[in-house]
Structure 1
Amino acid sequence: MAQLLNFSDAVSRLKAIRDRAGKQEEVKAPGWFLLTLEGRAPWELWASLVSRPLLSQAPKGDGHPVLVFPGLATGDMTTLVLRNFLRDRGYVPYAWEQGLNRGPRPGVIEACVERVQQLRAEHGQNVSLVGWSLGGIYAREIAKTIPDAVRSVITLGTPFSGSPRANNAWRLYEFTSGQSIANDPRLVGLKQTPPVPTTSIYSRTDGIVAWQCCVEKETERSENIEVHASHFGIGVNPTALYAVADRLAQPEGGWERFDRHGITGLKKLLYLDPSRRTGFGLF
């Protein structure tokens, strides 16, 4: 009898450990330490300016149009550095021109779809979509709506999976959009990968969005690229800019995965393996 009680006690303890482990694995919003690190965003802008000679070596574009979407509660001024960089690399970048991004209110996605179709007609080429944070949600959903008009999708720090509250911006989203994020029907199906070449660029030191919510399911036409960046600075971060240019330079119909194994090994240091596991609770 004593042996049975001991065995039962051991099973109970193992179950308790398993339950605690499961709770620890639940994705939560970044903590105060990572949130504090968001203060490095101005340094990332400075780094991109200093790195211009190196960024000028990024792959050149073929002149196709690129529509760039800003993040939550921001406008086209925040994507100016990114758009100027893309213009220098030989693309034709466009701002979204809808003022502040206050969330996918009625008519916004429809207007974006119309804009993409208009650009495609004007250029006679499919349009690439680049979205920063919430702007990446627009890019992904538009590509799902009109895939025949979209060449590729690139997102920067965009949370499209996991809990909608696994970030430090959900209250701002509710305030600006006027919609409860927990009951917003527009958020259903965000995790589905667009049917076009798709790249998610993210950082494990993002202080606003839980990086786990930015990880794309990798397929023959979807991938993840991890960079060292803050959420507020990822759109001007030099490593992220280089990655965007590299992805946009992929020939239509000939898309291949991002190669992080440079000859000098520098790319491997700058772009970490997204599939790696770390033993650090902070990241």
Structure 2
Amino acid sequence: MDSFELGPPPAVLLALEPLRAILDYLAGLPGPSKPLPHGDGHPVPVFPGPGVSGCATEGLRQRLQALDYEVHDWEQGVTQWPEDDFDSLLLLLSEQLQRIFARNERPVSLVGWNLGGLYARELAKDHPEQVRQVITLATPFADQPNSTHAGWLFTLLNGGVSPVDEALLWRLSIDPDVPCASVYSPSDRIVGWEECVGNLSEHHRNIEVASVSHWGMLHNPEVLRVVAGLLAEPRHCALRTFIDNCLSRVF
């Protein structure tokens, strides 16, 4: 992507986020209006966003479990930026990933919301042979220091010091060598949607869901439909899907 400075979504729109999140939550309570594809039982760890624990993703995990996946919480409590360095928590998550992989003897799909998506992407870079795909929800992997309202939360959790330097930003923007899908909403009032969009390639695609709040990524029926569809794709077809997606944008 070209380098350019972005600002966070307008602050006035941020005030509407709680109401929109409630509406997305209520919309998701009845469940999907149409049947969703069931999976093959492969493992799916789900990583929460900043300042919350796995309780925030419990509803999504229950829905995915009902679709026949072996779903896992990330087991690290409240999500925050590590006090020492980014890799300290990645090491713990790597140990969990390796345990899940060893028990199932099949690659896992990683699903991450916001900051959780950054961890999922980095895990896939370190262990590509153990990861089937990465699905990120409203994750600013191409983030710049002031492009999201979430930036102030990262700073607060890090003792008042911004935990993100230019070297780390560059590192986070590199795609893993496994199929990745970034699900984003242009109406997100927390994260600038532009920073959730990467370059189309054989390993990356972007999927827009309209009129979904940032918190709604965990509850909105359309997001669930997208995630269920991605998880249900046969592994051997994933690369072909990415190539076809890229070609459709060219011709």
TM-score (norm 1): 0.78
Task: Indicate yes or no: 2:140 matched with 1:159.
Answer: yes
**Structure-2 residue corresponding to 1:109:** 90
Tell me the secondary structure at the aligned position of residue 60 of structure 2. helix
Task: Indicate yes or no: 2:16 matched with 1:34.
Answer: no
Write the mapping of 1:108-257 to structure 2, written as runs, cut at 5 A. Answer: 108-178=89-159, 179-183=161-165, 185-228=167-210, 229-255=212-238, 256-257=241-242
CA contact under 8 A between 2:81 and 2:163: conserved in structure 1? Answer: no
**Structure-1 residue corresponding to 2:61:** 83
Match of 1:235, as an amino acid? L
Task: Indicate yes or no: 2:43 matched with 1:50.
Answer: no
- Deviation of 1:165 after TM superposition, in Å, equals 1.6
Change (3 A) 1:182 1:222: closer
- Deviation of 1:53 after TM superposition, in Å, equals 4.1
- Deviation of 1:185 after TM superposition, in Å, equals 4.8
**Structure-2 residue corresponding to 1:64:** 42
- Between the aligned partners of 2:195 and 2:177, the Cα distance in structure 1 is 19
**Structure-1 residue corresponding to 2:73:** 95
- Structure with higher Rg: it is 1
Tell me the secondary structure at the aligned position of residue 108 of structure 1. helix
Change (3 A) 1:203 1:91: same
Match of 2:23, as an amino acid? W
- Between the aligned partners of 1:243 and 1:33, the Cα distance in structure 2 is 29
CA deviation vs aligned residue, 1:10-30 (integer Å, no higher than 9, x gap): xxxxxxxxxxxxxxx742100
Tell me the secondary structure at the aligned position of residue 233 of structure 1. helix
Change (3 A) 1:98 1:145: same
More displaced 10-residue stretch of structure 1: 93-102 or 216-225: 216-225
- Between the aligned partners of 2:114 and 2:25, the Cα distance in structure 1 is 17
- Between the aligned partners of 1:242 and 1:259, the Cα distance in structure 2 is 21
CA contact under 8 A between 1:37 and 1:230: conserved in structure 2? Answer: no
- Between the aligned partners of 2:165 and 2:201, the Cα distance in structure 1 is 30
CA contact under 8 A between 1:41 and 1:233: conserved in structure 2? Answer: yes
- Between the aligned partners of 1:122 and 1:184, the Cα distance in structure 2 is 38
Displaced runs of 4 or more, over 6 A: none
The CA RMSD over aligned residues, in Å, is 2.0
Tell me the secondary structure at the aligned position of residue 85 of structure 1. helix
Match of 1:253, as an amino acid? H
- Between the aligned partners of 2:181 and 2:235, the Cα distance in structure 1 is 14
- Between the aligned partners of 2:209 and 2:124, the Cα distance in structure 1 is 24
CA deviation vs aligned residue, 1:138-168 (integer Å, no higher than 9, x gap): 0000000111110100000000114122011
More displaced 10-residue stretch of structure 1: 139-148 or 32-41: 32-41
**Where in structure 2 are there 5+ consecutive unaligned residues?**
none
More displaced 10-residue stretch of structure 1: 65-74 or 100-109: 100-109
CA contact under 8 A between 2:117 and 2:136: conserved in structure 1? Answer: yes
TM-score (norm 2): 0.88
**Where in structure 1 are there 5+ consecutive unaligned residues?**
1-24, 261-274, 276-283
